[in-house]
A and B are shown apart, each in its own frame.
Chain A
Amino acid sequence: MKSNFYLGFVVVFLLGCKTYVITNQQSENNAVVQTESKNSELVKIIVPYKDSLEKTMNGVIGYSEEELSTGSPEGKLGNFIADLCLSIGNEKYASDLSDTADFALLNNGGFRTFMPVGAITTGKVFEIMPFENELVVVTLSIEKTVELFNYIGAKTVKDGNRKQGVPVSGNVLVELMGQTPIEVLVDSVRLRGRSYKVITTDYLANGGDNMSFFLNPINYEKLDMKLRDAILQEVESLNKKGLKVKANLDKRIRYVD
């Protein structure tokens, strides 16, 4: 009787067991390419969105007085964007987190084209900044801040090309002798033994473009704002005030030799 019970249990157990097992697998990842299929079901869904998107992209949001491009030791486009990052970023930082950053630092590699003279469309700003990089505030120790300015010295080239140079906001002054910064002022005050709050993008803050001084900072705060949206906002607000986009080469990064 007892053994029958066990037998029954075993039978139930076996029946309850999986009867399906994976015996072989094969995988192949293929490129999605155009096929001869005449199927256009999805295209039909896409078209109205695409049309309206193109209309938005072609919409003029402001005007530029001159052509702005990146450069080294400084470029007008880098100066323009670094400045607006500090002002707009700090506005957001103050309202959301009641704090203020010291300066802004970006990279020229992120700007994929120049700002043309004349009408600026939404699409043009997307072309200049196609990445979804967000503004963040990184708090750096004085040691890391010194590293940051050494990085600027190392990356800056006299009469360099569009990819060289490191854009910083206009409240920073760096005097270089060769590759070495011999004077650094932030808001007209020489670097001191305190931490500095830097507005940059999440990409750079995570060590992009070899900006290793941003890694393991004292603090890292997100502003929930994309760099592109900050540019769009600046161009639009200038336009509302009847102003055009312009920027100066103000020798914020200069050579003394």
Chain B
Amino acid sequence: MLTRRKFLQKSLFVAGIAPFTQSLANEMVGSGEVVKISILHTNDVHSHVDPFPDNHKRYAGKGGAQNRYNMIQKHRKENPNTLLFDCGDIFQGTPYFNLYGGELELKLMSKMGYDAATMGNHDFDNGMDGFLSVKKHANFPFVCSNYDFSETILNNHTLPYKIFKKEGVKIGVFGLGIELDGLVGKKLFGKTVYKNPIMVANEITTILRHEQQCDVVICLSHLGYSYDSEKVSDLKLAKATSGIDLILGGHTHTFMENAEFVRNSKGKEVLVNQVGWAGINLGKVDLYVSKLTKKRLNLNKKEKGFIEVK
């Protein structure tokens, strides 16, 4: 894979000037050499349908499904190659869930055009039957790769992964959930089998990269950003695996200004992002995917002596 630095060098080469600017990448998008794919994402929205009230101490006026939808539509207008994901804990947190069991949340997400979501621990709060009874209001799939539902009523109601195509670019998306035992009542998750996220991630990325020939691999995670303990987190996952380009997270309600670069087990860059909770922020990661051929990439190697931009 072309590293970021090489791309920057090439950009400098193309423009013949330093330093690299974002407008350059945009120029390359305009020339058709690069496809820009925008990934929008939320996590831990926790049934926050309405914006926070105007007298709220910290988040007055923020969030709200309608406001989020307006932002999403604006981004889609700017870039039709946009995907929208949620990383779990859609449910629980306002009386909307207590009264309607998640029906409204899923209806709104369907209208907003979510492409996929993964399940968080709170999405089990009304049991698997509670989830199943409202799932019909979702027109998007739930990708759950490390929950084995085969002995439960959710069997065949989720996907191990989903592949999207944007201008010929294949984007493989899979989902990782947190260990439910201790977090969720046993009655609620029943015979769901939790599988080691790192092992499952390696299996699925192999399938996505090699069998399915995906160009980009995205993980929707509800593992949590980071822990002091040995518990698997997004940072641990990023470091312990290879083949994932982007981990969109949840569970720990971590507010990040933007995505963080982490080196994977092969020293390549993985992006990890998370946007707090309650729909206060909307995450956005733009991936510039190059259509450059092998030959031109090789030529690029000779472009030594250019200023390295970090």
Contacts and interface: CB of A to CB of B under 8 A. Distances in A.
Contacts of A132: 92-93, 122, 125
Interface string A23-55: 111111111111101011111011001101100
Nearest to A232: B98
A21 B290 CA distance: 5
A26 B20 CA distance: 13
A26 B23 CA distance: 12
Interface string B11-54: 00000000000100100000000110000000000000111000
A188 interface: no
Contacts of A2: none
Given A34-B51, A49-B96, A132-B93, A20 B275 contact: no
B288 A25 contact: yes
Contact of B289 (A22, A27, A46): A22
Contact of B70 (A19, A26, A37, A46): A37
A43 B169 contact: no
B257 interface: yes
Contacts of B259: 25, 27
Interface SS, B side? mixed
Interface in B61-78: 61-71, 73-74
A80 B172 CA distance: 53
A126 interface: yes
Interface centre among B99, B186, B256 (most CB of A within 10 A): B99
Interface in A102-161: 126, 132, 134
Contacts of A222: 185-186
Nearest to B245: A22
Contacts of A32: 51, 62-64, 67-68, 71, 279-282
Contacts of A37: 70, 73
A57 interface: yes
B288 A24 contact: yes
A26 B284 CA distance: 8
A12 to B, nearest CB: 13
Given A17-B294, A23-B4, A35-B70, A45 B111 contact: yes
A41 B111 contact: yes
B206 to A, nearest CB: 14
Contacts of B286: 25-27
Contacts of B118: none
A15 to B, nearest CB: 10
Contact of B96 (A19, A27, A53): A53
A25 B50 CA distance: 32
A241 interface: no
A14 interface: yes
Q: What band does the interface of chain B fall in when counting residues whose beta carbon is under 8 Å from A?
A: 35 or more
A56 interface: yes
A250 interface: no
A28 B258 contact: yes
B66 A40 contact: yes
B227 to A, nearest CB: 13
Contact of A45 (B25, B108, B275): B108
For the complex of A and B, 10 pairs with smallest distance between CB atoms: A23-B7, A20-B215, A27-B259, A24-B288, A27-B285, A224-B185, A23-B290, A27-B258, A222-B185, A37-B70
Interface of B: 1-2, 4, 6-8, 10, 22, 25, 34-35, 49-51, 61-71, 73-74, 92-93, 95-96, 99-100, 104, 107-108, 111-112, 122, 125, 168-170, 182, 185-188, 213, 215-216, 245-246, 255-259, 271, 273, 275, 279-294
Given A23-B292, A28-B284, 17 more contacts: A18-B215, A19-B292, A23-B289, A26-B288, A29-B257, A29-B258, A29-B284, A32-B51, A32-B280, A33-B61, A33-B62, A39-B66, A40-B66, A45-B104, A46-B66, A53-B96, A224-B188
30 contacts: A14-B294, A17-B294, A19-B293, A20-B289, A22-B1, A23-B10, A24-B8, A24-B288, A25-B4, A25-B259, A25-B271, A26-B22, A27-B273, A29-B255, A30-B71, A32-B67, A34-B67, A35-B70, A39-B69, A41-B66, A41-B111, A49-B104, A50-B50, A53-B96, A53-B100, A56-B99, A132-B93, A220-B182, A222-B186, A223-B185
